[in-house]
């Protein structure tokens, strides 16, 4: 009896709790709109956050319950936006295609390693423990954290730095999130010209550590007829909303750091006229 009584009590308590949970599940359940799961199935499932939400689940919920725009998923593209718009009866707007660019031209031909790094072979670890292994502390670390995280095979390491295959890139931004030096930017896919450097060091120092770095000479800024280029903290930057891809800045850049193809320092730009 001494053993049976505790068993009976536990059993009764368990049954009681089970009944309470069943009642709570029936009367306190939050109605779930089945459209959320159907919209979720239309999304690519990258969970990249390019839409501005935590992932595909949250975006699907916002689409159904709050009517956010259907064109925020850049990996899904126009096809996904059209399907969701048709399903929800929402207005369709085309997706603004985006792509990633790597703002560094410090290949093994232009810069050098200053240490024999032996730690974990990741960009994050190398940057955290040693602020990089190269002569330029702003440059690409070259271990390929971006390559690993890319779900579309659009990233690779070429001559020691990351390069983007624009034909595969969806502009999801996952690579940009993992780059410890914030070298990867997401820009409109129509942008052809970019500054392949992120160094804010003075020009004289940049020349010493990388022959392909921006030296802040302002020649590009003066050559641009559309006010698309500015020099801030010794570094040129291009406003993609103003840039017309005319290539005048490419012609005058003394270090060839303003480029169309990241790993090609010499760019053939047709002369005006």
pLDDT of residue 136: 94
pLDDT of residue 100: 96
Contact 60, 36 (CB under 8 A): yes
Cα 84 to chain centroid, rounded:
24
pLDDT of residue 132: 85
* Phi, psi for 258 (deg, rounded to 5): -90, 120
Which class is domain 98-259? Answer: alpha beta
Given a cut of 80, whether residue 120 has pLDDT beyond it is: yes
Question: What mean pLDDT comes out for the span 226-253?
Answer: 96
- Please give the share of the chain, as a percent, with pLDDT higher than 70: 84
The overall average pLDDT reported for the chain is: 88
267 — pLDDT class (breaks 50, 70, 90): very low
- Residue that wins the pLDDT comparison between 16 and 204: 204
Question: What mean pLDDT comes out for the span 191-217?
Answer: 95
Q: Judging by beta carbons within 10 Å of its beta carbon (0-12, 13-18, 19+), is residue 27 exposed, middle or buried?
A: exposed
pTM of the predicted model as reported, rounded to 2 decimal places: 0.79
129 — pLDDT class (breaks 50, 70, 90): confident
Over residues 5-61, the pLDDT tens digits come to 666 666 767 776 666 666 665 555 555 678 999 999 999 998 999 999 999 999 999
pLDDT of residue 130: 79
Contact 110, 206 (CB under 8 A): no
Given a cut of 50, whether residue 266 has pLDDT beyond it is: no
pLDDT of residue 168: 94
Burial 90-107 (b: 16+ CB within 10 A, else e): beeeebeebbbbbbbbbb
Cα 176 to chain centroid, rounded:
3
271 — pLDDT class (breaks 50, 70, 90): very low
Q: Which range has the worst mean pLDDT, 23-27, 173-177, 182-186, 237-241? A: 23-27
Half-sphere exposure of 91 (CA within 13 A, CB side): 4
Q: Which fold has domain 35-88?
A: 3-methyladenine DNA Glycosylase II; Chain A, domain 3 (1.10.15)
Question: What mean pLDDT comes out for the span 60-65?
Answer: 94
- Residue that wins the pLDDT comparison between 150 and 2: 150
Task: Give the residue extent of every domain in the chain.
Answer: 35-88, 98-259
Question: What mean pLDDT comes out for the span 201-205?
Answer: 96
Burial 120-150 (b: 16+ CB within 10 A, else e): eebbebbbeeeebbbbbebbbbbbbbbbebb
Burial 190-201 (b: 16+ CB within 10 A, else e): ebbbbbbbbbeb
CB neighbours of residue 77 within 10 Å: 16
- Residue that wins the pLDDT comparison between 192 and 3: 192
């Amino acid at each position: 009896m001494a053993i049976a009584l505790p068993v009976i009590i536990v059993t009764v308590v368990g049954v009681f709790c089970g009944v309470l949970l069943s009642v709570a599940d029936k009367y306190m359940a939050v109605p779930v709109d089945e459209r959320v799961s159907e919209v979720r199935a239309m999304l690519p499932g990258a969970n990249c956050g390019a839409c501005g939400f935590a992932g595909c689940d949250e975006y699907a919920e916002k689409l159904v319950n709050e009517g956010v725009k259907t064109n925020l998923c850049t990996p899904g593209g126009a096809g996904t936006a059209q399907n969701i718009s048709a399903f929800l009866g929402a207005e369709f707007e085309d997706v603004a295609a985006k792509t990633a660019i790597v703002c560094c031209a410090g290949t093994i031909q232009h810069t050098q390693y200053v240490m024999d790094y032996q730690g974990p072979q990741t960009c994050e670890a190398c940057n955290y423990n040693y602020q990089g292994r190269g002569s330029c502390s702003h440059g690409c670390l070259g271990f390929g954290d971006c390559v690993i995280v890319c779900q579309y095979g659009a990233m690779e390491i070429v001559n020691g730095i990351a390069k983007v295959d624009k034909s595969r890139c969806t502009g999801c931004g996952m690579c940009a999130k993992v780059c410890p030096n914030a070298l990867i930017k997401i820009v409109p896919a129509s942008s052809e010209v970019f500054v392949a450097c992120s160094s804010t060091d003075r020009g004289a120092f940049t020349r010493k550590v990388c022959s392909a770095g921006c030296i802040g000479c302002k020649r590009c800024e003066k050559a641009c007829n559309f006010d698309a280029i500015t020099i801030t903290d010794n570094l040129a930057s291009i406003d993609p909303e103003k840039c017309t891809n005319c290539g005048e800045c490419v012609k005058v850049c003394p270090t060839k750091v303003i480029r169309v193809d990241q790993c090609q320092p010499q760019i053939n730009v047709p002369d005006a006229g």
